[in-house]
Amino acid sequence: MKKTLIALAALASTAAFAQSVTLSGNMGYGVSQVGTGTAALGLTDGGFTFAATEDLGGGMKVSASQSVAVKGHDNAAKADGGFLAISGGFGELKVGQACAGKALGEGNLGGAYGLAHAFGNGTDCSANWQYGLYTLPTMVQGLTVAARISKTAGDISVEGFSAAENSAQLRLAYANGPLSAAYYVRSNTGEIHASYDLGVAKVSFGMDTKTSTATNERTEVGVSVPMGATTFSLGYGKQKDTNIKGTQVGVKYALSKRTSIDAVYGSFTNALNGSAAVKDASRVRLLHTF
């Protein structure tokens, strides 16, 4: 009996410090056409993420994640964000790197409003944010309070921390039932995001709140309507200072929980590409996630 108890205790101790590793990703293939250009058949999406979690005991755990884009921001396989985090009764401390190509992050049209981003296949990831994020323990149900420091290129300066070298941001997020909302604020600008699930449709909204005229002002709205296996969507976004704006409509049919066919049409103006002319684009894609 004593040996059995010792064996069970050893097993429980091993389980308490177990590590779980998961692999997820996506692969998409379709036909795309931009403006009067030739329709192209090819890979539209591709990437994978390794994620691991280890239980340290005492209510603490370590999490790590690393993503690789095989196709997404351009045609080369490259790192596409990752983090290392430790959490417990004190909250969570996370350090990592994220693609800085998406202006609002949670944007409905991908933030940059170029058609590539709107279609989920952006070329706008020339910079990577290095960041440190501390999330406080939950004190109010649904409310998350966090603070972040970040830098657009290179490592975060610790000894010479300044607004010019590093960005400090306060993040407030609330999610309860059908409502989800967040407010991110730093010294010269802020962001608001919100979505509400009405059951018959989900509406979303995002915008910059400017306190500095040197910052681009962005606004995004979107709605998605599920009808059985089919989901219809509509989105609009604009970036005032650079006169970028776009409208996107789409329909998605779920063949299963992980495989779908979608068709998207977009009309956009992108002055950053040297032309203010309106361009149209479309894509039909088969997408599988794992």
Residue ranges of the domains in the chain?
37-289
Best CA proximity match to 115, nearest among 264, 262, 288? 264
Confidence of residue 192 (pLDDT cuts 50, 70, 90): confident
pLDDT at 24: 94
pLDDT at 241: 65
Which has the higher per-residue pLDDT, 98 or 225? Answer: 225
Rounded alpha-carbon distances, angstroms, from residue 46 to 38, 57, 76, 78, 154 = 22, 36, 11, 11, 26
**277 alpha carbon, distance to own chain's centre:** 29
pLDDT at 37: 74
Share of the chain above pLDDT 70, in %: 67
Confidence of residue 121 (pLDDT cuts 50, 70, 90): very low
d(C-alpha 31, C-alpha 240), whole Å: 31
Which has the higher per-residue pLDDT, 152 or 69? Answer: 69
What's the whole-number average pLDDT of the chain? 76
Confidence of residue 270 (pLDDT cuts 50, 70, 90): low
Question: Side-chain half-sphere of 164: how many Cα atoms within 13 Å?
Answer: 1
* Fold annotation for 37-289: Porin (2.40.160)
Q: What one-letter code names the amino acid at 266?
A: G
Confidence of residue 116 (pLDDT cuts 50, 70, 90): very low
